[in-house]
Amino acid sequence: MKKKLFSSIFAIFGIANLVHAQADRWQQHIDYKINVALDVTSNIIKGTEDLVYTNNSPDTLHKVYFHMYWNAFAPNSAMDIRSRELGKNYLSVRRGAPITSASTMTGQDNVQDWDRRVKDRIQNLTPNEIGYQRVSQILINGKAQKLVEHETILEVQLTNPIPPKTAAKLSLQFEAQVPVQIRRSGRNNAEGVRFSLSQWYPKMVEYDYQGWNTNAYIAREFYGVWGNYDVTIQINKNYTVAATGVLQNPSALANAADLKFWNFKGKNIHDFVWAADDHFKHLSKEVRKGLTLHVYYKEKTPAEDSAWANVLWAAEKALPYIEKKFGAYPYPQYSFIQGGDGGMEYAMATLLKGPGIGTVFHEWMHNWYQHVLGSNESLYPWLDEGFASFAEDDISFWYEQNIATQSPFISEAAKKQLLANNEKAKTYLPYIQYGNYGGYLALAKSNIEEPMSTHSDHYNTNFAYSSAAYSKGATLLGFLGYIIGDSLRDATLVKYYNIWKFKHPNANDFFRVAEKTSGIQLQWLKEYWVNSTKTIDYGLNDIQAENNTAIISLQRYGKMPAPIEVLITYKDGSTELHYIPLDLMLAPKLSETTQNRIVHPEWKWVQPTYTFVTTKPITALKTIEIDPSFRMPDLNRSNNKLEIPN
């Protein structure tokens, strides 16, 4: 019977995985059946997990591992120590440069490098405030396995290894205490939501082509195994539960003990979150066939009612644009749930502190970049956070320019402000330049930047990590538009999503899609932007007259090369866009403009200067400007533009 069971399991799950896998990128698979009971008085969760783990790797597994995230919420945990150590760093707000002690602080110029949500709060937790997860036993085929605890990682030494292309059934019992709200998960957050339950169950560690990803939890990033979840939650009947997956028993009634059972199922996902409160208000709408959007929030004031109703309205209106620009959303539901400590993404759901539309779009886009593509956030946080930040700005700009003022849930004063902002934005630089480019340039000038290839947990400062993951990651996509053209950048993002969904892509996978889409070589971009901290800085050097032309000399001051665009404006109002490809690209960018574009010979990356000739004499020149589209993240733009006096 057991042999037949495992053969059938592999046959079913193996077929499902072959649909998404490719020859050189196998995926593990897991089925979770979780039954838990939450005591809302003691804040204790007790439950069981029955797992079927399919080893699709070519390796025999002698151990497996589980994440035990809540063990981080106790004094002197690795998360506690790490947070307090980073908090000893003082950073200049303006420069980001490290300050060695508080005695050098001057007014508001210097701040501690805290994760502001964690700070030193963990070391002050009392025994009934801490979080913990405890597994009493794990059985495989009825045999108890040896367990070794490593704080937030549980090592399971198998009595019988799991060979390639076979499945194993594991059963475990666990108990957990919900910590007070500190980071992502917990109870009684600042907005009064009773339970925000993320990273709440013993979660299997991902095994991939690089081995076991046993990252200790210090408040940073996540990585998981795709599979199917069947979760049943028992809780006091007065509580409403919002969760990952589709609710299977919406009409269920409480039992004699005033407890209600909530059963959720989700397919082809790699995490599960839920929240519960006795005053949750629930909004929902089927926005297209096969997709229902939900909003759960803490019922308070009429103004907040309108703000959360606007979340549902905005999400529905933005969805067609999002799917056209970034790819189709593949799941049957999505829930925006008030809870947590800011905004945090999970499969088919997000925890949101409040109803801010920018945060709503950012967290929703994580379901594309983290929960469908599923990159290893510990190794490539920018593939998720940076791309979601870029998408947030793109969607927010489109939404504000085209849709926001039509909302029935915002005030007339807010509509007037939006209209004024939209009119003002027409004279501004492209939207992407504001937050993300500025954040990256502050990092590049800080003297504490580290390469984006640094492991998320091992950055020296919170500032360097967050700026690299969010701002520099988003700036990469703006810069890529400059290099290959915005339209081909957009096509790259859709192709990347469609090719690599459910396959855990890495950094090289993204750049290869961009190369194939554009026909331009981009290995140099990956090496400079991701694996180094070299910066871009070009400037105008000299202008000389020659016959009836002008010779323009350009200087590369930074250590990172780039293709160059120079806009020449003449006194008669005519213009020329001079385009100089970088030799490392091996092909020029296609024209993005209807104006006169002149393509020059390649600029060799080893050469610090370059000259080109205009079509009119120097006396006809009005202005010369490097990078008129402002998409090149130039460290110093003060020498990029020259106005010729009359």
What pLDDT is recorded for position 105? Answer: 40
Q: How far is CA 303 from CA 193, 239, 308, 309, 410, in A?
A: 18, 23, 9, 10, 9
Q: Exposed (0-12), middle (13-18) or buried (19+): which is 583, by Cβ within 10 Å? A: middle
Which residue type is seen at 553?
Answer: S
Decide: pTM greater than 0.85: yes
Listed in sequence order, the residues at least 6 apart from 482 whose beta carbon sits closer than 8 Å to its beta carbon are 563, 565, 627, 629, 631, 632
94 pLDDT higher than 80: no
Architecture of the domain delimited by 1-73+128-225: Sandwich (2.60)
The C-alpha atoms of residue 236 and residue 161 are separated, in whole angstroms, by: 41
Q: Is pLDDT larger for residue 105 or for residue 185?
A: 185
8-51: pLDDT as tens digits: 333 333 434 434 444 368 999 999 999 999 999 999 999 999 99
- pLDDT-derived band of residue 593, with 50, 70 and 90 as boundaries? confident
pLDDT at 372 over 50: yes
Query: Taking 80 as the threshold, does the pLDDT of residue 2 lie above it?
Result: no
Nearest to 149 by CA among 50, 78, 255, 71: 71
Which residues make beta-bridge pairs with 297?
Answer: 281
Between CA 287 and CA 336 the distance in angstroms is 14
pLDDT tier at 422 (50, 70, 90 boundaries)?
A: confident
Task: Determine how many CB atoms are found less than 10 A away from the CB of residue 159.
Answer: 11
Cα–Cα distance between 31 and 5 in angstroms, integer? 14
Pairing verdict, β 333-338 and 349-352: parallel
CATH 2.60.40 fits 538-643, yes or no: yes
Q: Do domains 1-73+128-225 and 538-643 have the same CATH topology?
A: yes
CB 233 within 8 A of CB 38: yes
Radius of gyration in angstroms for the set of CA atoms belonging to the chain, rounded to a whole number? 27
All structural domains of the chain with their residue ranges: 1-73+128-225, 78-112, 413-529, 538-643
pLDDT, average across residues 248-265 = 96
The three-point CA angle 75-80-82 to 5° equals: 150
Task: Please report the pLDDT score of residue 430 as a whole number.
Answer: 53
Write the Ramachandran bin of 290: left for phi over 0, alpha for psi from -120 to 50, otherwise beta: left
The tens digit of pLDDT for each residue in 559-585 reads: 999 999 999 999 999 999 999 999 999
Distance between CA atoms of 406 and 169, rounded to whole angstroms?
A: 53
Three-state helix/strand/coil letters over 269-326: ECCCCEEEECCEEEEEEEEECCEEEEEEEECCCHHHHHHHHHHHHHHHHHHHHHHHHH
Distance from chain centroid for Cα 205: 20
Look at residue 141 and tell me whether its pLDDT is greater than 90. no
Beta 203-204 vs 90-92: how paired, if at all? unpaired
3-state secondary structure 497-552: HHHHCCCCCCHHHHHHHHHHHHCCCCHHHHHHHCCCCCCECEEEEEEEEECCEEEE
Other C-beta atoms lying within 10 Å of the C-beta of residue 147: 15
Q: What does the alpha-carbon distance between residue 492 and residue 133 come to, in Å, rounded to a whole number? A: 42
Query: Is the predicted pLDDT of residue 106 greater than 90, yes or no?
Result: no
